[in-house]
Amino acid sequence: MIGDALRRFEREHAEALAALARLEHAALALRGVGDPAPHFAAARDAHAFLEGPVKAHNLNEERALFPELGEDAPTAPFIDEHQTLWRLERELGAALRAADAERTADTALELAELLRAHIARENEILFPMARGLLGAEGLARVARRLGD
């Protein structure tokens, strides 16, 4: 569908899930034995993706999609989760800077679990609801707000 910004959000979700897989792999490896350096590097790369493109994605949802939905969809829990995700990203960054393997692993796994569930709820509940509520015209307005 032309102007369906939700397809863009779904593609970005797929990219975020790939980054989460890399982050989880690194976190689990940090709990093991051996040289932690490559696992810290992988976690830093995934963290940078979360702080950059994933955070921009969440801000775009709040800026372009949620206002269009207004009171017709339950967006407040998603906004709350964005705030929690951003807090966990900050905590992960602090653990990475401290090179604290245990704290990095724990925070990374908590963040990955929350973000994975958040993405599933958006893909399976919020986005189908948004398509029904907004229709082609509303989705085109969302796309224009995003500059698509």
What pLDDT score does 2 carry? 44
Tens digit of each residue's pLDDT (9 = 90 or more) over 62-92: 999 999 999 999 999 999 999 999 999 999 9
Total residues found in the chain within this entry: 148
Statement: residue 3 has pLDDT above 90: no
What pLDDT score does 10 carry? 96
What pLDDT score does 30 carry? 97
User: Residue 94: pLDDT band by 50, 70, 90 thresholds?
Assistant: very high
Residue 3 CB neighbour total at 10 angstroms: 16
What pLDDT score does 4 carry? 77
CA atoms within 13 A on the CB side of 56: 8
Tens digit of each residue's pLDDT (9 = 90 or more) over 101-127: 999 999 999 999 999 999 999 999 999
* Residues in Cβ contact with 99 at an 8 Å cutoff, skipping those fewer than 6 apart: 36, 40
Is domain 5-146 annotated with CATH 1.20.120.520?
A: yes
**51 alpha-carbon distance from chain centroid:** 9
Higher pLDDT, 2 or 96: 96
What pLDDT score does 1 carry? 43
User: Residue 95: pLDDT band by 50, 70, 90 thresholds?
Assistant: very high
Tens digit of each residue's pLDDT (9 = 90 or more) over 31-55: 999 999 999 999 999 999 999 999 9
Mean pLDDT, the chain, as a whole number? 95
What does the alpha-carbon distance between residue 92 and residue 105 come to, in Å, rounded to a whole number? 9
What does the alpha-carbon distance between residue 59 and residue 129 come to, in Å, rounded to a whole number? 19
* Residues in Cβ contact with 133 at an 8 Å cutoff, skipping those fewer than 6 apart: 69, 72, 73
Residue ranges of domains in the chain: 5-146
Contact 135, 6 (CB under 8 A): no
